[in-house]
């Protein structure tokens, strides 16, 4: 079994997964975990404020965590708390954990026996498990697993005409100058005919905003579901929502919905037949700086299911009128923060 994880929190959910993996490892299953140390900044800044796998963190990661704590009012700093379960997990002879590299790997992927693949946006922690709106897709197909591996390694290029493919950006393979995830999203929005439904955790990439405005100007209906609050860059999210309404003139075909629950989804449905769903947000970080994995499906039945979920979430939120209120100073600071992280 192989896991790619950005965040793995030291809470009940993190412990539950560790125990399940150790049970499998006791049966002889080989478990490999690729855990990005960069995620520890967020693990110590929110939720249980403990990391399951990073009990010693470098100065840079600590500074980033303190920056988040300062910006979002969660001080004081909490020191790492040791956990015998984590120690036991790391010592297991059938479990291999790579946790010391700043890989900027934001993906959430699980591969079981080279036959089943889970991909989406759900992290490992109580908030991800119990509170957030999010998606994860299970794909039971050895050929799909092989295709994923080929896309990640660079042996295969993304093909938008396949019924199922993977939108992947890996800096080590693809570099930072081009991002297939961004390129395909811009193409999707430029060719949309009737409607675009989006449920997205984080916004801010101006290229995406421009493309959505252009689609609405052509007559395409747009539904955007975001959280009314967010763990980070919440005012930047609201500023982008306000910009969409102002620039399009807020016609009836544009719905901006603020959901009361935290939205951590990264899901797009275009024209009721194409889905882009995974770990990549609408930020410059996801569009070139982070490693990301999305599943891309051209199937009307699957699209209807995802579209129905987004519509259900939209019905639970508050429809914005012609403007969205936000803190302009915070939005500017958050935009600067994202730019710094991107560089």
What share of the chain has pLDDT > 90, as a percent? 87
Q: For the whole model, what pTM was predicted?
A: 0.96
Asked whether residue 129 is domain-assigned, the answer is: no
Q: Give the domain-ending residue among 64, 79, 103.
A: 103
User: 206-215 long-range contacts, Cβ below 8 Å, gap at least 24?
Assistant: 207/182, 207/287, 208/182, 208/282, 208/287, 209/240, 209/243, 209/244, 209/247, 211/185, 211/186, 212/244, 213/244, 213/247, 213/248, 214/189, 214/190, 215/189, 215/190
Residues in a beta bridge with 224: 198, 256
For position 130, what pLDDT does the model report?
93
Whether 170 and 265 share a structural domain:
yes
Residue 219 has pLDDT above 90, yes or no: yes
Length of the chain: 343
Write down the pLDDT at residue 192: 98
Cβ contact 34:4 at 8 Å: yes
- Region 280-308: mean pLDDT is 97
> Is residue 117 a part of any domain in this protein?
no
Which is higher by pLDDT, 138 or 340? 138
- CB of 138 within 8 A of CB of 73? no
DSSP 146-211: HHHHHHHHTSS---TTSSEEEEEE-HHHH-SS--HHHHHHHHHHHH--SEEEEEES----HHHHHH
- Give the model confidence (pLDDT) of 128-140 as tens digits: 999 999 999 999 9
Q: What is the pLDDT of residue 154?
A: 93
- Going by pLDDT thresholds of 50, 70 and 90, the confidence category of residue 341 is confident
What pLDDT is attached to residue 14?
98
Q: Is residue 98 domain-shared with residue 191, that is, in the same domain?
A: no
Average pLDDT of span 144-153: 97
SS3 state of residue 128: helix
Choose the final residue of a domain: 55, 72, 103.
103
* 23/35 Cα distance (integer angstroms): 20
On whether both 311 and 188 belong to a single domain, the answer is yes
Residue 119 domain flag: no
Q: Are residues 177 and 92 in the same domain?
A: no
Q: Residue 57 is part of which domain span?
A: 2-103
Tell me: do 24 and 166 sit in the same domain. Answer: no
Q: Is residue 146 part of a domain?
A: no
Does 288 have pLDDT greater than 90?
yes
* pLDDT at 39 exceeding the cut of 80: yes
Could you tell me if 220 and 319 lie in one domain?
yes
Tens-digit pLDDT profile for residues 55-109: 998 898 899 899 889 888 788 888 899 999 999 999 999 999 999 998 899 999 9
Q: How many domains does the chain have?
A: 2
- Rounded to an integer, what distance in angstroms lies between the CA atom of residue 252 and that of residue 223? 10
Note whether 95 and 164 are same-domain residues: no
Question: What is the C-alpha to C-alpha distance for residues 64 and 54, in angstroms, rounded to an integer?
Answer: 14
- Is the pLDDT confidence value at 343 over 80? no
What whole-number distance in Å separates Cα of residue 193 and Cα of residue 219?
A: 8
Residues 205 and 274 in one domain: yes
Looking at the fold, whether 183 and 34 belong to one and the same domain comes out as: no
CA within 13 Å, CB half, 192 = 30
266 and 336 assigned to the same domain: yes
Same domain for 86 and 229?
Answer: no
CATH number reported for the structural domain that contains residue 288 in this entry: 3.30.870.10
Q: Considering only the C-alpha atoms of the chain, give the largest distance between any 2 of them, rounded to a whole number of Å.
A: 60
How does pLDDT run across 327-338, given as a tens digit for each residue? 999 999 999 989
Tokens of 31: 């478990």
For 80, phi then psi, to 5°, come to -55, 135
DSSP-derived 3-state class of residue 278: strand
Identify whether 190 is part of a domain. yes
Mean of the per-residue pLDDT values of the chain: 96
> What are all long-range contacts of 332-339, with beta carbons under 8 Å and residues at least 24 apart?
333/71, 334/204, 334/232, 334/233, 334/234, 334/235, 334/236, 335/204, 335/236, 335/239, 337/67, 337/71, 337/233, 338/204, 338/233, 338/236, 338/283, 338/284, 338/285, 339/284
Over residues 149-201, the pLDDT tens digits come to 999 999 999 999 999 999 999 998 888 888 999 999 999 999 999 999 999 99
Q: Assess if residue 116 is contained within a domain.
A: no
Do the domain assignments include residue 251? Answer: yes
Please tell me the predicted confidence (pLDDT) of residue 176: 83
Is the domain of 225 the same as that of 331? yes
Nearest to 106 by CA among 49, 176, 34, 13: 34
| Mean pLDDT of all residues in 236-261 | 98
Kindly state the DSSP code that residue 75 receives in the 8-state scheme: P
| 141 compared with 79, residue with greater pLDDT | 141
Cα separation, 154 vs 89, in Å, equals 32
Could you tell me if residue 215 is inside a domain?
yes
| Confidence at 212, pLDDT banded by 50, 70, 90 | very high
In 3D, which of 280, 262, 264, 284 has the Cα closest to residue 338?
284
**Which among 79, 103, 127 is the end of a domain?**
103
């Amino acid at each position: 079994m192989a896991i790619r994880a950005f965040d793995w929190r030291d809470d009940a959910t993190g412990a539950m997964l560790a125990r399940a993996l150790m049970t499998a490892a006791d049966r002889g299953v080989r478990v490999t975990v690729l855990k990005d140390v960069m995620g520890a900044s967020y693990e110590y800044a929110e939720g249980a404020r403990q990391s399951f796998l990073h009990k010693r963190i470098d100065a840079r990661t600590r500074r980033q965590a303190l920056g988040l704590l300062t910006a979002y009012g969660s001080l004081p700093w909490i020191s790492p708390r040791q956990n015998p379960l984590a120690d036991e997990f790391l010592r297991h002879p059938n479990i291999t954990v790579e946790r010391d590299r700043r890989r900027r790997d934001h993906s959430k992927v699980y591969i079981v026996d080279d036959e089943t693949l889970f991909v989406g946006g759900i992290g490992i922690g109580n908030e991800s498990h119990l509170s957030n709106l999010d998606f994860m897709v299970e794909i039971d197909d050895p050929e799909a697993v092989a295709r994923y591996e080929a896309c990640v390694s660079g042996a295969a290029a993304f093909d938008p005409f396949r019924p199922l493919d993977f939108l992947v950006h890996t800096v080590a393979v693809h570099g930072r100058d081009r991002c297939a995830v961004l390129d395909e999203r811009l193409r999707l929005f430029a060719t949309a005919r009737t409607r675009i439904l989006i449920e997205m955790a984080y916004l801010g990439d101006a290229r995406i905003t421009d493309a959505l405005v252009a689609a609405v100007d052509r007559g395409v209906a747009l539904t955007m579901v975001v959280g009314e609050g967010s763990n980070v860059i919440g005012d930047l999210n609201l500023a982008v929502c306000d910009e969409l309404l102002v620039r399009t003139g807020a016609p009836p075909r544009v719905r901006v919905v603020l959901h009361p629950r935290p939205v951590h989804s990264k899901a797009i449905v275009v024209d009721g037949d194409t889905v882009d769903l995974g770990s990549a947000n609408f930020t410059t970080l996801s569009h070139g700086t982070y490693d990301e994995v999305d599943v891309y499906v051209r199937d009307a039945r699957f699209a209807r299911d995802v579209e129905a979920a987004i519509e259900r979430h939209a019905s639970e939120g508050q429809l914005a009128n012609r403007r969205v209120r936000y803190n302009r100073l915070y939005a500017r600071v958050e935009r600067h923060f994202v730019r710094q992280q991107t560089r």
